[in-house]
Structure 1
Amino acid sequence: MFENPIESQRILAVDDNTFTLRIVQHTLEQAGFQVITAVSGADALKLINRHGMPHLAIVDLHMPIMSGFEFCHAVREFSDLPIIMLTAVNTEETIIQGLEQYAEDYIVKPFNPEELVARVRRVLRRMGDYNYTLESTTRIDERLIVNFPNREALVNGQSVSLTPTETKLLYILVRNAGRIVTTEFLLKRIWPMEDAQEDRLHVHIHRLRSKIEVDPSEPSYIVAERGTGYRFNVAADQISTD
Structure 2
Amino acid sequence: MIRSLNDLLDYAINASDGVIGSVSDVYLDDAGWTVRYLVVDTGTWLPGRKVLLPASALDAPDTDSRQFPVRLTRKQVEDSPGTDTARPVNRQEEEALAGYFGVEPYWLSGSLIGPAELPTVPAEPPADAARRGDPHLRSGREITGYAIAATDGDIGTVSDLLIDDTDWRVRYLLVDTGTWLPGRKVVFAPGWVESIDWATGAVRVGLTRDRVRNSPVPESVPEVNRAYEEQLHSHYLRDPYWM
- Normalising to structure 1: TM-score of the pair? 0.22
Q: Higher strand share goes to which structure?
A: 2
Query: Which structure has greater helix proportion?
Result: 1
Q: What TM-score, normalized by structure 2, do the two folds share? A: 0.22
